[in-house]
Amino acid sequence: MNELLTTTLVITAISVVLALILTLANKYLADYGKVKITINKEKEYEVDGGSSLLSSLVGQGIFIPSACGGKGSCGYCKVKVLNGAGPVLATEKPWLSKEELNDKVRLSCQVKVRNDIEIQIPEELFNVREYETTLVKRDLVTDKIAHVRFELPEGETINFKPGQFMQIKAPEYAGTDEFEGNDEEVFRAYSIASSIKDTKHVEFLIGYEKGACSTYIHKVLKEGDKVMINGPYGDFYYHDDDADTILLVAAGTGFAPIRSILYHMRDQDIKKKTRFFFGARTPADLPLVDEMEQFEKDLADFKFIPTLSRTKPEHHWEGDTGHVDDSIDKYVDGEGKYSCYLCGNPKMIASIVEALHKKNIPDDRIFFDEF
Ligand code: FES
């Protein structure tokens, strides 16, 4: 009996000592104290060490694109780290090209801030903010695409460039018979579809893909609900350059940034010849056709050219059929100076770029947003 008691006491004592060591190690080894983040060699922020670079920056009101919520699975949160990051982790490598690795680019969600760190980010990211918006309108513009309009909080405004995107936060929500629930906060990127002149609102075109964020927008949200949105982001936007012809090319929700560009052209009274090639399957997949007809009246020389790939006789479709690259081949003569803005999936972008090359339009006149 005495032996059993002694053994129990020894085991308990060892456990207590181990717990104490762990607590002390946590306190003294994992406590990195205050560390300094220097941005673009001029701005300095003092933060508590130990968190990821991404969350330390968010804590200072600096938002970096991050569609996976910091799990290292979207590759959006790239930041150039000049000093103090430690070695590149295995979780980062699949997302970084050889050039990016040489250029000290890192995934900010995977880099821990344990000591002073020096980073470089595009100046525009200082303009990125988080807004608690209110959903004021949601309409279906095709079977699958919702046109949503959010109002910014009283007294707040947003400045963005036509073509840029924002991130919408989907919180946790319960599932129903109709859709699955979401058990973690996620951010998803969506191009802004509205005019840059409307600084009190942002609009998006959101396709229903049964993902956490598209389900939230299509099925969970109700008008009047609050929604967290941060941005703007992105280097895809309209440039006022020396082009005499603007080609806009999109499919699906790639319609959104093109709509914002068209509003900009109308608001700024830009008179350049402009053609919008839009690829869809059937007439029912064409969003906001009335608006496009109105732009044809409002803009100096604009034509909306939808091209449908799956028409049937009962559709009575009299427009172009096939793929968008066929329409580019048919309507673009390759004369003059072009600027081309492309939005769609990587496969579609690749075939459009090839079609534009055949018209002798060089890469430096082609801007695209792949998603
Ligand atoms: S936030 Fe998605 S990879 Fe870093």
User: Is pLDDT at 364 greater than 60 in this prediction?
Assistant: yes
314-329: average pLDDT: 95
Q: What average pLDDT does range 270-286 have in this prediction?
A: 97
pLDDT recorded at residue 2: 62
Residue 351 near residue 325, CB atoms below 8 Å: yes
Choosing from 55, 77, 187 the residue with most ligand 1 atoms within 8 A of its CB, the one to mutate for a pocket test is: 77
pLDDT level of residue 32 (50, 70, 90 thresholds): confident
73: left (phi over 0), alpha (psi -120 to 50) or beta: alpha
362 three-state secondary structure: coil
Q: Return the percentage of the chain with pLDDT > 70, whole number.
A: 92
pTM for the structure as a whole: 0.84
**Does the beta carbon of 77 sit less than 6 angstroms from any atom of ligand 1?**
yes
pLDDT at site 4: 59
User: Among 4-13, 49-58, 182-191, 201-210, whose mean pLDDT is lowest?
Assistant: 4-13
Edge-first strand listing for the sheet containing 366-370: 320-321, 302-308, 273-280, 245-251, 338-344, 366-370
The ligand 1 atom nearest the CA atom of 70: 1
- Res. 187 pLDDT band, cuts 50 70 90: confident
Q: If you write DSSP's letter for every residue of 291-312 in order, what string do you get?
A: HHHHHHHHSSSEEEEEEESS--
Residue 10 scores a pLDDT above 70 = no
Residue of higher predicted confidence among 361 and 68: 361
Atom of ligand 1 nearest to the CA of 110: 4
C-beta 66 within 6 A of ligand 1? yes
Count of other CB atoms within 10 angstroms of residue 216:
23
Please indicate whether residue 209 or residue 2 has the higher confidence score (pLDDT).
Answer: 209
Task: Give the pLDDT band of residue 124 (cuts 50, 70, 90).
Answer: confident
Section 164-182 average pLDDT: 95
Res 264: pLDDT = 98
DSSP E strands in 152-301: the ranges are: 165-170, 186-191, 201-207, 226-233, 245-251, 273-280
DSSP assigned state of 157: -
pLDDT at residue 314 above 90?
Answer: yes
Centroid of ligand 1 to alpha carbon of 168 (angstroms): 15
Average pLDDT, the chain: 91
Residue 226's φ and ψ, nearest 5 degrees, are: -90, 140
226-260 pLDDT, tens digit each: 999 999 998 899 999 999 999 999 999 999 999 99
Burial of 8 (0-12, 13-18, 19+ CB in 10 A): exposed
pLDDT for residue 23: 47
Q: State which ligand 1 atom lies nearest to the alpha carbon of 109.
A: 4
Cα–Cα–Cα angle for 55, 61, 65, nearest 5°?
Answer: 60
**Residue 30 DSSP symbol:** S
Average pLDDT estimate for 307-320: 95
How far does residue 235's CA lie from ligand 1's centre (Å)? 18
* Helix or strand holding residue 366 (H, E): strand 366-370
Residue 39, amino acid: I
